[in-house]
Each structure stands twice: as C-alpha cells, then as structure tokens.
Amino acid sequence: MRILIVGAGVVGSNLAAELSMGGHVVSIVDDDVRLVRELNDRLDVLAIAGNGASPACLRRAGIEDAEMVIAVTNIDEVNLVICMLAHRFGVKYKVARIRNEEYSGDNAFLKPEELGIDTIINPEHILTSKLLQILRTPGATDISSFVKGQILLVTFDIDEGAPIAGKQLKEIRQLPNTETFLVAAIFRGEDEALVPRGDDEIRVGDHIAVIVGPDALPTVLPLMQKEVRQPQRVVIFGATMVGHAVAKALQDHMEKVVLIEPDMERAEEAATELLSTLVLQGEATDLDILREADIEHCDFFMALSRDDEANLLAALMARRFHAKNIAVMAQEPAYMPILSSLDMDVVLNSRLAAVGAILCFIRRGEVHMVTRIKESEAEVIELEAAEGAKVTKKPLKDLDLPEGSLIVAALRDDKVVIPGGDFQIQPHETVLVFALPEAIERIERIFSSRRLFRRHQ
C-alpha cells in the first residue's frame, strides 16, 4: 500500500518505521528540515520538507497515487485540513490524530465523515480509558481489550507473596477454575520474552501477560497478588486532558480524589468543573501540597502532567511517601524503559498509543487488532480465520505453528475459549495469537486464504 504521512514527530516517525518495514511504500512530510534529513538517512522512505497543508507539497509527496493519508501533526486543525485535501485528491483512506473533543467526541458538531475522514485517533481518550480499566483491576499494570471487550489482555508484575509465584504452569492448570484464563507471555529481565510452556515456572520479578474473559477476572486477581483491594483514594498530578477526564470519571465513585495542578488558571478551571474533587494549586513535589493531598494514604498516584521530568520527580516523591500504586505518563517514548526500571507500576505514552491505534486501522482484513506488550516487540494479534485458511485445516496440536507463537484464545458461540491441543479453528472464527516478531508474518499468512497478506501488497 502507498501511504503518505504528514507530521514527522514521534508518532509519524514511528509509523513510518513500522510501515516501511511492513512492506508499504511510505512518504512523509514535515516542515522540520533536520527531521526530514534524519528520516531519509535512517529509513527506506521518501521524506520531504514542506508545509503538509499545501496541495503543491502534497503532490510532491505523491498524494495523487496514495491509497492512505495519515495526518499526525501537532495541530488538530491542520490535520483536519490535510484530510479534507486528501478527500479532494481521491485518497481512499484518511486518518487524523485529533485531541479536541469538539472534533472527536461523541457529541462533535461535525462528524468525521462530514470532514472526509475515515477514522479519528484521540490518544488522550485512549489513555483515559486504559487508566480507568487499570483502576478497576487491582494489581494490573496494563489492560487491552479484544473482540469488543469480550477478551482482555491483562499484565501483572509478580511480587513476593503472590500465590502464583514459584508454580509451574502445569501446576497452575490443576487449580480450580484455572481453565478460564491463560498465561500468554512471560517477560523476564530486560530482554527475555518467553512463549510459556507447561514446565515454565512463574518467578518473583516476572512480568506476565494473561488472557482472560471479563467475568473470570475475579478468579485471576487473587492468584496474582497477596491482597486484592479496590483503590478508594486517588491523587492525580496534572489537570491535562487525561488528568481532568480521569478525575471526572472517578470523583463520584471514590472515597477521595485529589487533583494537583501548578498553573493557577488551570487549577481554578478544574475546581469549577470538578465539584467532587479536591483541587490543589501547586507542585506535586511540594511537601505541604502532598501532605494536604494525604499522599501517605493514597491508593493510586497518577503523574499525568505534560512535563516528563516533573512527572518523574512527583512519582518518586509519591513512592517515598508509600503510595501503593503509581502510574506515570511520559511524552517521550525514550523515558518509558527508564520509568519501568524505577519500579513504576504503570507507564503510559500518548504518542505510542496513537501509533498502536493507527496500526490497528491499517492492518485491516483478517487482522482486527494489534497490541504490543510492555516495551517489547511481542504482539497479541486479533485475527479472523479466512475461509480455506491453513489454520482451519487441522487441530492445533497438528498445526505447524511458527516458533515464538501461541494461540491463546478464541471466541466460539459468543463465549471465550482457552483452546487446548484438540481445538480446531473454524472459518471466520475470531482468534487471539501471541507472537514474537520473527513469527508475526507466518502467523498472518496461515490465517489468510491468500498467498500474500494484504498489508504487504
């Protein structure tokens, strides 16, 4: 597919790298000459310096031959104009990153189709939903949903005292009600990602990914931690779009919600709108502010400001005061492994969230959804088995699945099934697969009825 990306920031450059490696013909436009030069040197793409909202510049970048345009500049209105121009040029698919709820929300005055846009990606909305899901799932460090929420991928850090620690997977299978979930992946140390087998042991310090249906979560949580306790006291640093939205969603359901915001004007605006939230104007590194927020009794501290360094310092202060769980939002992806190494429970990045959402739209056809686990390149892929696909011909135990892959769940008759060796996938059945990078292409091929998967055309 020929794809034109406008905006070479973190989102655009990551998309360009992913798509060019995936066999797409990619061109990218940005007004930053340094970024353009770097992309031309580093990637197999055509990078052009210029104004992405200029028809002449878009022509130079090949918009007349493009099948898809992705507008990911930092300005919503520019992204809207780019997609409107792409519509006039006859581009088949148009994707825009939009933060403003007036354009992207359920009550938006203009609908995406009226603007010539096929899909809008709102990274702040994605992060808000993820944080709220994590809060509702004690002990989880990340959650992704598949098949319209009927299957969940939940990740946990295994701490000392967790009932599951020290047990082999085949031992866990012998416990009551364990047929309702599956350990899909084990991450050990900095680089080791394991496709788990029966003899593998869950160890303290492991980071594990579990596939489970929402109804079975109450069975899973007590195995992952010593004590399952729903958070009731939440402290949020940063009245950003995400911070404000999380406080609004929680304020009437929690015992106490506190929002700390350094900017006086933003703090006053938040206090006016969030009537059941205690809004404090000040820095989250100020001891007096933290004491007023009652940080010592905080169940969940969330550093959600736009300043990565301030978020890091605030999170370290919260850890010093024994906040039970800490979530940190990083603007720069490079900070994520550093934050994880500092024992932060949840680390999020809005730009990478946008990349993931856009990749899900691009990898259409048999692939419905793709989720990366942790900071690794391992993926959980939601696929539909095509009519005549190789994967539908034999039971799982007789399939020659690529090394580094595991079929972890299926949806049959609207019920989540954790498949065993005798399970045979039916045509048009939705299946979840865990795959390391080297296995992804072969997995996509055996689920397709065609020789070449669509995204490589």
CB neighbour list of residue 105: distance below 8 Å, 6 or more residues apart? none
Model confidence band, residue 208 (pLDDT cutoffs 50, 70, 90)? very high
Same domain, 408 and 450: yes
Confidence at residue 374, expressed as pLDDT on a 0 to 100 scale: 63
Does residue 414 register a pLDDT over 90?
no
**Last-in-domain residue among 56, 86, 121:** 121
Tell whether the model's pLDDT for residue 454 goes beyond 50. Answer: no
Confidence at residue 216, expressed as pLDDT on a 0 to 100 scale: 86
Q: How many domains does the chain have?
A: 3
Task: Please check whether residue 111 lies inside any domain of the structure.
Answer: yes
Residue 303 lies in domain: 233-352
Residues 333 and 377 in one domain: no
Long-range contacts, 265-269 (Cβ 8 Å, 24+): 266/239, 267/239, 269/239
Q: What is the pLDDT of residue 26?
A: 95
**pLDDT, mean of residues 441-446:** 84
Enter the pTM of the model. 0.81
340 and 250, same structural domain? yes
Shared domain for 341 and 429, answered yes or no, is no
Q: Could you tell me if 238 and 346 lie in one domain?
A: yes
**Both 376 and 341 in a single domain?**
no
CB-based contact 96:114 (threshold 8 Å): no
Structure confidence at residue 445 (pLDDT) = 84
| CA separation for the pair 329, 303 (Å, rounded) | 6
- Write the CA distances from 204 to 119, 142, 157, integer angstroms: 42, 18, 8
> So what's the pLDDT on residue 338?
81
* 312, 385: one domain: no
Does some domain include residue 154? no
pLDDT of the residue at 453: 38
In a domain, 227, yes or no: no
281: left (phi over 0), alpha (psi -120 to 50) or beta: beta
The CATH number linked to 430 is 3.30.70.1450
Identify which of 88-92, 214-218, 353-357 has the greatest average pLDDT. Answer: 88-92
Per-residue pLDDT of 209-218, as tens digits, reads 999 888 888 8
Residue 375 has pLDDT above 70, yes or no: no
Q: What is the mean pLDDT of residues 101-106?
A: 72
- The answer to whether residue 101 scores a pLDDT higher than 80 is no
Within-domain flag for 28: yes
pLDDT of residue 14: 86
Q: Does 358 share its domain with 338?
A: no
What pLDDT, in 10s, does the model give residues 228-247?
788 999 999 999 999 999 99
Residue 270 is predicted with a pLDDT of: 96
Q: Give pLDDT tens digits for 168-186.
A: 988 888 877 777 788 988 9
34 inside domain = yes
**Per-residue pLDDT at 262 exceeds 80:** yes
Question: What integer pLDDT is reported at residue 274 of this predicted model?
Answer: 96
Same domain as 317, residue 425:
no
Asked, for residue 434, whether it belongs to a domain, the answer is yes
- Rounded CA gap, 382 and 384, in Å? 7
Of residues 248 and 375, more confidence is placed in 248
Mean pLDDT of the chain: 87
Give the strand order in the sheet containing 430-435: 367-372, 379-384, 430-435, 405-412, 415-417
377 plus 293 within the same structural domain: no
Higher-confidence residue of 191 and 456: namely 191
d(CA 457, CA 58): 23
Reported confidence tier of residue 105, pLDDT bands at 50, 70, 90: low
In eight-state DSSP terms, residue 72 is: -
200 occurs within a structural domain: no
In a domain, 182, yes or no: no
Residue 289: pLDDT band with limits 50, 70, 90: very high
Query: Last residue of some domain: 121, 155, 172?
Result: 121
Within 10 angstroms of residue 171's Cβ, the number of other Cβ atoms is: 14
- CATH number of the domain to which 116 belongs: 3.40.50.720
The arithmetic mean of pLDDT across residues 290-310, rounded, is: 94
Residues 26 and 60 in one domain: yes
Single residue among 300, 331, 352 that ends a domain in this structure: 352
Answer yes or no: do 346 and 378 share one domain: no
Query: For residues 201 and 268, is the Cβ–Cβ distance under 8 A?
Result: no
Question: Residue 451 pLDDT > 50, yes or no?
Answer: no
